Amino acid sequence: METVETDLLILGAGGAGLCAALHAADRAPGLSTTVVVKGLLGRAGCTRMVQGGYNAVLTPPDSLEAHFLDTLRGGGWINDQELVWTLVTEAPRRVLELEARYGCFFDRTHDGKIHQKPFAGQSHDRTIHKGDLTGIEIMNRLTEQVWARPSIRALEEYRAVELLQDEAGRVGGALLLDMRRGAFVLARSRATLLAMGGGPTMYRVVACSADKAADGIALAYRAGAPLKDMEMVQFHPTGLVIPNSLMTGALLEEGLRGAGGRLLNGKGERFMARYDPERLERSTRDLVSRAAFTEVQEERGTANGGVWIDVSHLGAKFVEENFRGMVKRCRDFGKDLAREPVEVGPTAHFMMGGVVIDPECRTALEGLFAAGEDAGGVHGANRLGGNGVGDSTVFGGIAGDVMAEWVAGRALLSVSAAGAEEAAKRLTAPLAASGPPPYPLLARLRSLMWERVGLIRDGTGLQAALVEIEEIEARVGAVAVPGGPEYNLAWQDWLNLLSMTTAARLIARSSLERTESRGSHYRRDFPESDPRWLVSVLVQAKDGEVGVRTEPVRFGRARPDSQPPRMAAVEIGD
């Protein structure tokens, strides 16, 4: 088996992975950094798909305290408060770094200041953006910077399929698959970062990048790392409804609601007044998604099982100037967003849960770090729109800095080549097997997750889901894929299915454990939030089963019943 050695191994190349690589390269240019990406550098992943923007406090009357509290309230108060504080205090610095150091350029006001627009669930207009295509601006500039640094190399169309560990459980790299050649590569490293993005693609309707499969979640779980808040899966309320199209679920960004967009049911009623009469459409994503789902369930939806978003009253000129990307996306399907209502519905969007980390992105496994959607704790029970790309770039940069210092003086670990060979043998089994294709199982998993572990859950459905997920997992091993290993898309889909079923089991098991409703987790059999559940649900592999425990939230800076929160002074800079 081919072997490569590198100081830092970064698995994933979205905002978290690229910021980590850049920070590490600038902190310690003598170190070698290898970035592994399932697609093409700068073109794959979810950061590029970010439409709305980036939350950061820049000017009064907004404040770090307000951003902190908005994030905690949105997250149902189960967030890790130290991680949230790190996010809100570092986000302004990272925005300035993105512009001044990496070349991003965000929209301006008439007097030249960075423009900040309103987003749902926030007390101030703090969302920085580049039109409604913010992610493209960030990823293009970060990618340019990565190519300009000789200490960084990219392995494009490679995927990590197993973490490499020594006898003590320390992580010393990963087993990679070169998807073009169909060949496995043993990548040995002094430090490894999981930045692969979660991506709830195990649901029937999704908004995230199609290359996502919760790979990082599955890798961490199999390696023995604890994960938290896996029951918290965010559904975005305004995914396009395009009958008989894979584009169903593609997002219309939250800024449409922030600007005054209205949601109407199939009868033309502005239904959010029933669910949040104060904030209406600017309520949090979890509540708006559940409201739209309820309207459809109670037979007040559209003929295609959706609702309408209407921004035409804002004026066609305003919409076309401020939401060019969304207008074009709708026109591709014969819809005129600027002049007529467009059909939308909830779509699986983001995983708040992930690997347990500390504020320096360390996991419980020595040598393994995590950042972005692979890490849990920042967003609690529900992520605010605009906090996602902030999470990725803030903690990605921190991880790069920390890893660059951490590897000093550390040798490569002695990891088991025989274990890697055994994993490769197991993962290539479908290529030589005779059996059914993976796609019926994939469709079954997605329907199951949507219907029983989706927007509205109950104990009976969750227990049935766990039984069926285990049955799907058992049958995955009997799947066959045609053709050889070179660029075999069916084989890649089978590998995706392995990760999806692992993540699905963790989501369903954690959902069964939390017997209350909080944020994105709604139990019809426990419809109220319970203060006794101000805890995180943690899952970890234990004797081949999912070990589950709870851990009380630490209210180190603020409590739900305390005003004002205890805050430290922070200097943001010019």
Query: Which residues are catalytically annotated?
Result: 236, 257
Any idea of the CA torsion for 254, 258, 264, 269, to the nearest 10 degrees?
A: 150
Check: CB of residue 183 under 8 Å from CB of residue 486.
no
Cα dihedral sign, 488-493-496-501: negative
DSSP state of 211: T
The angle, 0 to 180 degrees and rounded to 10, between the axes of the packed helices 388-406 and 15-27 is: 30
Largest Cα separation within the chain, whole Å, is 67
- Which residues is 155 bridged to in the sheet? 36
CA distance 205 to 202: 9
Check: CB of residue 187 under 8 Å from CB of residue 36.
yes
CA distance 229 to 537: 6
Q: Please list, residue by residue across 199-234, b when 16 or more beta carbons sit within 10 angstroms of its beta carbon and e when fewer do.
A: bbbbbbbbbbbebbbbbbbbbbbebebbbbbbbbbb
Q: Name residue, tokens 């939250």.
A: 254
Structure tokens at 192: 């490894």
Structure tokens at 296: 């459809």
Strand 183-194 with 368-370, pairing? parallel
* H/E run at residue 144: helix 134-147
CA distance 103 to 122: 28
DSSP state of 115: P
Strand 183-194 with 2-11, pairing? parallel
By C-alpha distance, which of 137, 109, 110, 128 is closest to 52?
A: 128
By C-alpha distance, which of 342, 389, 312 is closest to 239?
A: 342
Give me the phi and psi of 441, to 5 degrees please. -65, -40
Strand 375-376 with 354-356, pairing? parallel
DSSP 526-565: B-S--GGG-EEEEEEEETTEEEEEEEE---SS--TT-SSP
The angle, 0 to 180 degrees and rounded to 10, between the axes of the packed helices 134-147 and 388-406 is: 20
* H/E run at residue 466: helix 459-476
CA distance 112 to 132: 19
Residue 242's CB is within 10 A of a number of other CB atoms, namely 19
CA distance 236 to 76: 17
Q: What angle do CA 542, 546, 552 make, to 5 degrees?
A: 95
